[in-house]
Structure formats: structure tokens, C-alpha cells
Amino acid sequence: MNNFTNLHDQKTCKKPKILIISSAPITPYSSGYHVKGRQPIIERLTQIYDVVPWGWTRRRELPISFKHVYLLDGLPIFLGLTRCILRGRFDVIITTGIPVLESIPAFILAKLLRIPIIVRETHWYWPNTLVAKLAWPINKLMCSNATLVICPGKRAYTYWRLLGIPKEKIKIVHFYTSVLQPTPENVEFAKRLRAEFDDKVIVLYFGRLIKKKGVDYLIKAFAKLEREFENIVLIIAGDGPERQNLENLCGELKVKKRCFYRGYT
């Protein structure tokens, strides 16, 4: 926080104004959909600075991935963000790198307006897909020319240091600590779920059902265990665009009767 503190000291007449761009458009398949309230880093910054969170929530209740939101709302997203930055008179912009596409106009405008920009980077490897290969030069350019790169852990930090980011321009900041607020209904549902399988050995998966999570490997491994143990079940607590494919895989492996999809819990 030292960089921010120095900025505050220099401008004692008013609080420095910080724009924080959310990780991606929010949908039911987004990691932040069920997080209530702000992340701790935003709460801490809000106590000292004038913090303006910016995120796209128009498709919040539509069960699609954030990538599909860009196809539907790409133009209004970019126009809205551009308007926000031009009118906001921000002292600092904090954004996430690709695949969050809002980072591109944010980076360009920050450079044109000479606003310090901080890039939050979680990658500790780069995917080997065609889209990822095309996006790599852009993301590398943004990180190399950002005022500061912050990573949530040592693996991402080491990855970007090896890619040439100077030590003085990269820090470890635990910005992805979630604050979950379970409701009484959530707690009661969890108790009923545990009671339902009280005499079973439970293999539990908790998270989004997206390709990079590798839930298909878990199901294939479970299919092997299922042939050896009679009292074992797999509970999948989560949802996402891969759910139907995973349910089909359970059917193909003949473990559908022992795999239970419970959605978000």
C-alpha cells in the first residue's frame, strides 16, 4: 500500500480517486456471483481513498459465460467504461489482465491520459489455445508497461518475474480473498445434504463447472473408485457451462446413480 500512501500525501486537499475494474462481467457462472459485499482489498482502499468499482452486471441472471456476454454487450461495455474513465478524473486505475477485455481500453486510456495503471495478474502459465496465443502479445505488452503488476501468490509472481517484469514493478497482493455470507437457507440445505449421505464416503467437488477446472478428470477417476467401493458417492457443488457435458460423461461411464449435482451450495 506504500505507493497509494505516497499518492495520498501528495494530494492532501482531496482523497485520490481510484477506479477498480471488476474481473469480468458478472453472470451465474462467474466466480464472483455468489460473493456478497466487497473483497477485503477494496474495503481497505475505501477507508483511505475515493474508490469507484466498475463492473458489467446487465446479464447477471443469464446462465451464460462472461465470454458470451462480450458477444452480446461488447460495444456498450467498452463505451460505458470509456465514458467512465474520461469523466471520472481518476488518479489510479486498477484492472485485471486478459481474458478480461475491459483491460484493453482501460490500458490505452490510462496511457493517453497519463494515469498510473495497476494490472492484477493471476496467470502462472499461459494457455496453449489459438485465442490465448493471439492474446498473449497484448497481455504481455500491458504488464510490461503497467505502473505496477500485482499477483495473488508466489507462482504468478515468479512467472511474471521470469518473463522480465522488474522486481520494483511487481508485488504480491492477496486481492482474491472472497467474503462469503451464507444465508440460513444455505446452512440448512448443507445439513440436509450431509444427512442424506451420512453412511457414505463422500468425494466432494466445490467450484464452477468450466473446462479449465478439469472436473472431467475427477469423474473419470471416480468411475474407477466406484468399481472398487460400494459406499462411495461424488457430490458436485457448483454450476457452469460444462454441467451438461459432465452429466453426459457420468452417463457414459455408468456412474450417474452415484454422482449428485447440487448446484451452488
| pLDDT mean over 131-160 | 94
pLDDT at 6: 46
User: Of the ranges 4-8, 113-117, 156-160, 223-227, which one carries the lowest mean pLDDT score?
Assistant: 4-8
| pLDDT mean over 35-62 | 77
Tell me the C-alpha distance between 265 and 263, whole Å.
6
The domain defined by 184-261 carries CATH number 1.10.150.530: no
Ordered by start, the domain boundaries in the chain are 2-172, 184-261
Output the CATH code of domain 2-172.
3.40.50.2000
Same fold, 2-172 and 184-261: yes
pLDDT at 9: 47
The burial class, CB within 10 Å (0-12 / 13-18 / 19+), for 84 is middle
- Between β-strands 17-21 and 201-206, what pairing exists: parallel, antiparallel or unpaired? unpaired
Task: For Cα atoms 200, 211, 22, give the angle at the middle one, nearest 5 degrees.
Answer: 105
Tell me the C-alpha distance between 94 and 24, whole Å.
13
pTM, full prediction: 0.70
pLDDT at 30: 64
C-alpha cell at 183: 444465508
